[in-house]
Structure 1
């Protein structure tokens, strides 16, 4: 009986994706990725805005409580001052003393309120810096220096808030022992208030401003900080897949 020869059968299948199809696919992937990043970024921005608003409200309530307590204390001292001023015979001196005493407390209140508002603005700016930093980090940038600067700025703002609250608690009632000493006593009270406000402005407040500026500058030092990731589609070569079996 002769041998049975079974012929070999070769099957070859091939699938080819054109460069245009690959480019279109890549563009779709990039577009979807950008949309996802945009959604994440918007969600994070809203979350951060909410955090900043909650913090601002808490600070405002606390500062309002401090100010109300200070007003009570200032009013008590003002009544004491009015009693002492009654001993002054010169009506013009008496009126001037009362006016100066009132001006000093109002001036301190006005400036401490201004400082609190400035710190709120700095905190808002820092929030925007943080958002841009997070976006840059998502795009693969090295943001370590920015993170460090942001934390330093947060600390500086917190320190400044404490200093402003401490200043808001102070009262500057004019203290005098005699009518002849009244003029110098008013001058001393003015100088003390001016010295304290200047020290706050040029100390903790200036440090907070500089710390936020440092955070801004560290963000600017990142090349193309606001550039989107995957902004271009690389050239695509022809891809051919061939399978064979014998």
Structure 2
């Protein structure tokens, strides 16, 4: 398995940016992902300071890319401050207990959980075991909510998006979707039907991590507001 390491910093306009060093990388690159946020990947021998300079040199491009990704949501109504606060209250009431339940089920231990509002990512996990969750998560169907929470829980063991992280996430997702389909968890028929659909698409996907790929693509239809 290629050697990897990562660290994060906060850009005042963009939000959280991940600097990822990988022995499998032969060049420096930047990826802007609607769910996973901004990731700068460099060869393992490149210092983090050089990775951050590479990001700064392309910061305007990153901002434009984020704007382009949001373009298809330009007609989505901007929620009022009252609507945002209502989402925040709902998120604070629902997400921490759900995160705790999933952590216990799959053997994860985190430190603190904080509900935030930003337009760059659905969640994040620090090296100290603190998890941030976007209040927009409560607007997602149940299976997609669980995906975001499980994604951040898996970062407790792997602070990057390397192979070990994806294998762990795919393993957890497989078990979780089976439980949703089998009726082991009290979910609506709509949520159960969506789990079946995700499993079906994942089974026919040629992606390296089919469930992660299938769910990530589906979440793109939900804008961060």
TM-score of the aligned structures, taking structure 2 as reference length: 0.26
Higher strand share: 2
Question: Which of the two has higher C-alpha Rg?
Answer: 1
Say which structure, 1 or 2, has more relative contact order (CA 8 Å, 6+ apart).
1
Q: Could you state the TM-score of these two structures normalised by the residue count of structure 1? A: 0.24
